[in-house]
Amino acid sequence: MPPTPGHTASADRGDSTLHTQAHSELIDLEGRYVVPGFVDMHMHGGAGASYQNGLHDDVRRVVAFHRAHGTTTAMASLVTDAPDALLAAVARLADLADEGLVAGIHLEGPYLATNRCGAHEPSLLKAPDLAEFERLTSSSRGHLRMITLAPELPGALDLIRSAVDQGVIAAVGHTDGTAAHVRAAFEAGARVATHLFNAMRPVHHREGGPVVAALNDPRITVELINDGVHIDTEVARLTFTTAGPDRVALITDAMAATGMGDGDYRLGTMDVRVQDGRAMLADGSSIAGSTITMAEAFRRAVTEVGRPIEEAARAASLTPARALGLDHRIGSLAPGKDADLVVLNDDLTVHQVMKTGQWL
């Protein structure tokens, strides 16, 4: 569904102007759309670089690339790695979170189900380890914001409770758990379903599994990789219809190949081959992240999934901001919030991006 001419998201398109710097500057946007800056709560890399090692130059390259495509706030997601490597990466990323370059750290693993490992090294997966988790949280200096784990693993519920007590968002993902396992995780405090449908037990009409448990619980934010590869367009439409834009958070799950084209790459310890924009493990056994930007995920939500532009904007901005506990500062265009915004052309391509009141 194309946007309706004259239709706006969180801004008055008919005014065609933007006031900046305490009303000292008036900019004519020539009738373009203005939406809040995109918030990506699950992203691994882009522009040929990755968050995985926490190297400062690589992280800055990733952030600059995605900001240019409208993502004004991003989490730094790490896949499963050796314990010492993961600990070191978290410590380095904490420095960049101190600067405000990333909004926090997301650990996707290592407490995941082996048979739902996706693009994670199976030999490095393990049951939840509270002592290790404490070392990681300490290394993050308060910047560990989310952890994805499989709730059916021994000790998972205890780790979820520990995470919640420390202000870390617990997310359910890479799980072969039943609906009962997932509901128990939600009762323990988990509030996010990591890339819904992907790397989890599929829906069955006699056992709905993680997907149905998440969709039926109004407390849960469900991540959606809206790239046409991870999720069929009809399934994305069903998810929006069921959960609504206030519970669907568009994410990219982008890896280093985003913006780079086809070729061979790495995701954590795994070799990845990208062909026709589709990232797969080199052995062809699993999808290995995506190669889209939030701008593309947002545009597809309108043009392919058929959501109104206001709904797509909420799913790309306010909903993930709220899930991360950052909606007091970002996620919508409102007085007192950071001036993070994206100016879009009529075809919903990015025209210009502003981060905290400065054009990028």
Q: What is the pLDDT of residues 69-93, one digit of tens each?
A: 999 999 999 999 999 999 999 999 9
Where do the domains of the chain lie? Answer: 35-359
pLDDT digits (tens, 9 = 90+) for 162-218: 999 999 999 999 999 999 999 999 999 999 999 999 999 999 999 999 999 999 999
Largest pairwise CA distance in the chain: 62
Element (H, E) at 358: strand 358-359
> How many CB atoms lie under 10 A from the CB of residue 334?
11
Measured between alpha carbons, how far is 355 from 341 in angstroms, rounded to an integer? 7
pLDDT digits (tens, 9 = 90+) for 274-333: 999 999 999 999 999 999 999 999 999 999 999 999 999 999 999 999 999 999 999 999
Reported CATH class of domain 35-359? alpha beta
**Residue that is written with structure tokens 């305490």 in the block:** 22
**Residue that is written with structure tokens 């949280």 in the block:** 137
Measured between alpha carbons, how far is 40 from 225 in angstroms, rounded to an integer? 11
Residue 4: pLDDT over 50: no
Q: Helix and strand tally (H, E) in the chain? A: 10, 20
If you ran DSSP here, which 8-state letter would residue 4 be given?
P
Q: How confident is the model at residue 349 (pLDDT cuts 50, 70, 90)?
A: very high
Residue ranges in the chain assigned as alpha helix (H): 56-68, 83-99, 130-140, 156-165, 179-188, 209-215, 233-243, 294-303, 309-313, 319-323
Measured between alpha carbons, how far is 280 from 264 in angstroms, rounded to an integer? 10
Binding site for substrate: which residues?
Answer: 119, 198-199, 206, 230, 287-289
Amino acid letter, residue 269? T
Q: How confident is the model at residue 25 (pLDDT cuts 50, 70, 90)?
A: confident
Measured between alpha carbons, how far is 214 from 242 in angstroms, rounded to an integer? 11
Measured between alpha carbons, how far is 149 from 61 in angstroms, rounded to an integer? 28
SS3 130: helix
Measured between alpha carbons, how far is 344 from 69 in angstroms, rounded to an integer? 11
Measured between alpha carbons, how far is 10 from 321 in angstroms, rounded to an integer? 15
Q: How confident is the model at residue 12 (pLDDT cuts 50, 70, 90)?
A: very low
Q: How confident is the model at residue 28 (pLDDT cuts 50, 70, 90)?
A: confident
Binding site for Zn(2+): which residues?
Answer: 108, 174, 195
Binding site: which residues?
Answer: 108, 119, 174, 195, 198-199, 206, 230, 287-289
Please list the active-site residues: 253
Structure-block tokens of residue 113: 């189900």
If you ran DSSP here, which 8-state letter would residue 254 be given?
B
Strand partners, 20: 25
Q: How confident is the model at residue 11 (pLDDT cuts 50, 70, 90)?
A: very low
Residue 272: pLDDT over 60: yes
CB 254 within 8 A of CB 44: yes
SS3 72: strand
Give the C-alpha distances (Å, rounded to integers) separating 52 from 75, 88, 108, 226, 266: 12, 10, 11, 23, 10
Q: How confident is the model at residue 252 (pLDDT cuts 50, 70, 90)?
A: very high
Q: Would you call the peptide bond into 2 cis, given omega within 30 degrees of 0 as the criterion?
A: no
SS3 47: coil
Measured between alpha carbons, how far is 170 from 266 in angstroms, rounded to an integer? 26
SS3 145: strand
